[in-house]
A = this chain, B = another copy of it.
Amino acid sequence: MKKMLLIGLTATLTATAGIASAQVKPFEAIEYRQGVFKAVKWHFGPLGDMVKGKTEFNVEEFSRRANLLAALSQMPGEAFLPGTYDKKTGALPNIETERAKFDEGMQNFQTATAELATAAKSGDMNSIRPAFMAAAKTCKACHDNFRD
């Protein structure tokens, strides 16, 4: 359905991350980054449940999900491209006009989730909890600034 709604966009985009290796269509970039954020949510939720004591803390499971979250944090940035901000997405066009601030926010997300993955290895909730809260703040910062 999303594909149908967006198929009117004919512009093609060139990925900005690293070497431009393929022409991508706007709907593909939107679907990709939305898919990545679905995966972020999938892993972030159970991590939060363990931090909050809603579910039993299990260090292996926490570490597994924290590592996957850190990998996911590397992914969405490259898909915020000119031509991919319209009413079908929550992403606001000021991502382009305030690109440095947006990129800094993405970097903060990557750093915080990497630190959470490191903290997870300790198995010490006194280290994990603040690292989790710091990671959650980096989500909120971008949502507040760049999401409808």
Contacts and interface: CB of A to CB of B under 8 A. Distances in A.
Interface of A: 1-2, 15, 17-19, 21-22, 24, 28, 31-32, 34-39, 41-42, 45-46, 49-50, 55-56, 58, 60-61, 64, 68, 71-72, 74-75, 79
Nearest to A64: B18
Number of chain copies forming the complex: 2
Contacts of A41: 32
Contact of A36 (B15, B35, B55, B79): B35
A90 to B, nearest CB: 14
Given A35-B39, A36-B35, A46 B21 contact: yes
Given A71-B68, A71-B71, A74-B68, A21 B49 contact: yes
Contacts of A71: 68, 71-72
A55 B1 contact: no
A137 to B, nearest CB: 22
A32 B42 contact: yes
